[in-house]
A = this chain, B = another copy of it.
Amino acid sequence: MKKLPLKKAFMLLEPGPVILVTTSAGGKNNIMTISWHKVMDFTPQFALLTGPCNLSYEALVKTRECVIAVPTVDLSRKVVRIGTCSGSDTDKFEKFDFTPLKAKAVQAPLIKECLANIECRVTDHVAKHGIFVLAGVQAWIDPGRKERGTIHANGDGTFVVDGRRINHRRLMLSKLPPGV
């Protein structure tokens, strides 16, 4: 993993891919799969939506930090299976053969096998709506990774893989944040 400028981190989540979120509480690493997230600011700031029905929620409330890892299509079966079991009785890193890497600013681990990782701190919790507000503090990317296509959940168990790219930079210049 190589450092990615923080001002570019929002670009990993803006397209809306399915992500993994790692936490570490009580010396125990965990991973959850989530599709309900959104960019809130270029700083970067993200909103993550999850409720008290899972172990990661407890860890987010308790530790107020996490890592957002961006998986690619070659990992899609693992990503789905991670979302259908619980960290309460499963060591997900071991079960799914993922390698935890030490993060720089948070206790939660990076996932070596993912395309990118963003270390985040919880800056607010809008409990009424189940929204965690996250500030990215350090971002990493695997520049050598061959497969870079992410997946987008349709909500019915099917997923759309990234297809072709189109470029409207010239049309959008007035709206682009500096440095991207």
Q: Hey, which bits of chain A sit against chain B, CB under 8 A?
A: 10-11, 14-17, 35-40, 42, 47, 49, 73, 76-77, 80-81, 83-84, 124, 126, 128-131, 133, 149, 151-177, 180
Contact = CB atoms under 8 A, between A and B. Distances in A.
**Which of A130, A168, A170 has most chain B Cβ within 10 Å?**
A168
The number of times this chain is found in the oligomer is 2
Contacts of A180: 155-156
A113 B167 CA distance: 22
**Which of A158, A175, A176 has most chain B Cβ within 10 Å?**
A158
Helix, strand, loop or mixed for chain A's interface? mixed
10 contacts: A15-B154, A16-B17, A73-B166, A80-B172, A129-B131, A155-B176, A155-B180, A157-B169, A158-B169, A159-B165
